[in-house]
Amino acid sequence: MTPTYPLAAVAHQPELLFALSLLAVAPAIGGLLIRGDRGAAKSTAARGLAELLPPGPDGLRAPFVNLPLGATEDRVVGTLDLDAALRGEVRLRPGLLAQADGGLLYIDEVNLLPDH
């Protein structure tokens, strides 16, 4: 696994660090929109936060999932597993939201996503 830059080492971003800290201790906030110029350590700080989140029930560290710009709705929320359906089985294929459960779903360049 690639080493992550520690969140505490992000400099000159006190508001960002405070907001990420709040999100870590109160996940009911539901999310955070980070705005800043290119090179402002937005994604680095988010990755650093994911490293600090408690591990899941399986003992693995909290997931950090990137949402690709071209992701379709079924890729995000999940869909029926068509291969299994053709064999007569009913199985769901989890989406990115399920993969990010207990961790972070990071959407870079959110302004480029379709409105829906």
pLDDT in tens, 13-36: 889 999 999 988 888 898 888 888
Q: Quick one: pLDDT band at residue 78, thresholds 50, 70, 90?
A: very high
Q: Quick one: pLDDT band at residue 98, thresholds 50, 70, 90?
A: very high
Nearest to 99 by CA among 74, 73, 68, 78: 78
CA–CA gap between residue 83 and residue 67 (Å, rounded): 24
- Is pLDDT at 1 greater than 70 in this prediction? no
Query: Distance from CA of residue 41 to its chain's centroid?
Result: 16
For 19, list phi and psi in degrees, rounded to 5. Answer: -65, -40
- Is pLDDT at 111 greater than 80 in this prediction? no
Question: Interior CA angle at 33 toward 29 and 37, to 5°?
Answer: 150
Q: Bridge-partner residues for 64, per DSSP?
A: 104
- Is pLDDT at 60 greater than 90 in this prediction? no
Mean of the pLDDT values across residues 35-47?
86
Q: Which two tokens stand for residue 20?
A: 């990420």
Dihedral Cα 58, 60, 62, 63, nearest 10 deg: -100
- Asked if 75 contacts 100 with a C-beta cutoff of 8 angstroms, the reply is no
